[in-house]
Structure 1
Amino acid sequence: MSEAKLPAYNVLDSELKSHGLAVSPSELHGLLMGMICGGMAVSDDSWVAAVSDYANQGEPLIDSAKATVRKVFDAASAELHGMAQVLFTSTASELAESQFEVTLLLPDADVELELRAEALGEWVTNFISGMGLMGMKKAELTPEVTEAVASLEEIAQLGVDEDEDMAEQAHMLEQIIAFVPECVLSCLVGLGQRPDSVEQPEIPGMPADLKPTLH
């Protein structure tokens, strides 16, 4: 899969609004990342129907709107697919030396704190929703995925208190943003190994009984 780069938050926000799509960049990116972690095929247009239902009142996406969303999907799928290849094929020692970075599409760090916190809440909420669309059932999750989802649910409820120290809250928000990728990786591994996964990771030559381990 070729490399794909996420568009800038502000640019994507303008494009989505110009197409009349009722979704923020953070909501869209979180939804697509959750669906991919949940097992959505990355080789076709399976994502189109879900995005149409979620952001366009069920109406088909016009070609220009579809192209805008595809840029986000291609970047998300390239990133997660690349990680899955490493996670599911590397030895324990190789994993220990690997660097995993999960991108969150959020407003820039210099944006008002309340807006950045709100966008993070939108991202994690829709990430969970995306996994749910792919058949995630909490009763069937591994302990690691259950813990990750619980953490994300708590993060989704966080907000900014104007009566508290804003600098301290800004620092805390950055720590939380840095923690979310760990939850995403736990979900990518755990859901990829579900017996009823919608689709196993597209990794040629991967042994069926291979069990990845994060270090």
Structure 2
Amino acid sequence: MQDDITGWSQWNQKFSEIAELSSPSELHGLLTGIVCVTEAPTQEQWSLILSTLNVPTLDHDALQLLTEEAEDTAHALSEDDLDYIPMLPDDKNTLQDRVFGLADWCAGVVLGFGLASGHIRADERELIGHLQDVAAVEFEDSDDDEDGEESYQELYEFVRLIPTSLAVGRKRQPVLDSSLLKNIHERITEVDSDTDANIVNVFSPNRPS
């Protein structure tokens, strides 16, 4: 797995300073979990989604990268051709960093899927449980050996296919129809309605009969 193939270097550079998330890998997991359920969010929708997680506003380039990656990920998951690749530290990084990156990614998928779907179906619980197990994985110095490398590769190959399984058979919802931004959308609609009413009142004064 090379940085220039996965885009990890650029992804890490753009998103490594987000203190509200454990790592850029968690952000990619969040993105993945969301597009298992919804259409790929627009830049404006990403700004709203991240605001619900108290993530500071991202610059235009970061939002564009996030939006493009969501579109690519949604396409990869819909193809069901097993080509989906999580955005994780590659082999140039230590085994510990890769293990924790994988754990963060799993946590992100669980969070994104839960936020977007609003509930977990019975047939999805086992898959989500596997992700939660890996998200809680621990790493000790004694794990940093050849057996540890093999265990990591097995875990990686196992969990990277879970989003495909979660996405199969689902008809993706528009973002605003999902639970992801439903409350925000309803509040915006209420504000817009109040604003329209005020405008009508201003330009339609009561006239004596």
Tell me the TM-score normalised to structure 2 length. Answer: 0.69
Measure the CA separation in 1 of the matches of 2:57 and 2:13.
20
Measure the CA separation in 1 of the matches of 2:47 and 2:112.
13
Kindly tell me: are residues 21 and 52 of structure 1, through their superposed partners in 2, closer, same or farther at Cα, counting changes over 3 Å? farther
- Counterpart position of 2:96: 114
1:39-54 correspondence to structure 2 within 5 Å: 39-42=37-40, 44-45=42-43, 46-54=45-53
Contact 2:34 2:115 in 1 (8 A): yes
Measure the CA separation in 1 of the matches of 2:107 and 2:26.
8
Q: Say if 2:128 is the partner of 1:131.
A: no
Kindly tell me: are residues 103 and 185 of structure 1, through their superposed partners in 2, closer, same or farther at Cα, counting changes over 3 Å? same
Contact 1:29 1:76 in 2 (8 A): no
Q: 1:146 offset after TM fit, Å?
A: 1.3
- Counterpart position of 1:151: 130
Q: Say if 2:162 is the partner of 1:180.
A: no
Q: Say if 2:54 is the partner of 1:16.
A: no
1:1-215 correspondence to structure 2 within 5 Å: 8-17=7-16, 20-22=17-19, 23=21, 24-37=23-36, 39-42=37-40, 44-45=42-43, 46-54=45-53, 57-83=54-80, 99-138=81-120, 141-143=121-123, 145-164=124-143, 166-189=145-168, 192=170, 198=173
The Cα offsets for residues 56-75 of structure 1, whole Å up to 9 and x where unpaired, read as x3544332331232232232
The Cα offsets for residues 88-118 of structure 1, whole Å up to 9 and x where unpaired, read as xxxxxxxxxxx42221111112310110000
Contact 1:16 1:68 in 2 (8 A): no
Structure with more of its chain in helix, by fraction: 2
Contact 1:134 1:198 in 2 (8 A): no
- Higher mean displacement: 57-66 or 126-135: 57-66
Structure 1: 5+ residue stretches without partners: 84-98, 201-215
Measure the CA separation in 2 of the matches of 1:44 and 1:162.
42
Structure 2: 5+ residue stretches without partners: 176-209
Q: 1:163 offset after TM fit, Å?
A: 2.8
Kindly tell me: are residues 41 and 132 of structure 1, through their superposed partners in 2, closer, same or farther at Cα, counting changes over 3 Å? same
Tell me the TM-score normalised to structure 1 length. Answer: 0.68
- Counterpart position of 1:91: none
- Higher mean displacement: 45-54 or 108-117: 45-54
Letter in 2 for 1:170: E
Larger radius of gyration: 2
Contact 1:120 1:177 in 2 (8 A): yes
Q: 1:52 offset after TM fit, Å?
A: 3.5
Measure the CA separation in 1 of the matches of 2:73 and 2:11.
14
Structure 1 vs Structure 2: percent identity of aligned residues? 21
Measure the CA separation in 1 of the matches of 2:118 and 2:152.
27
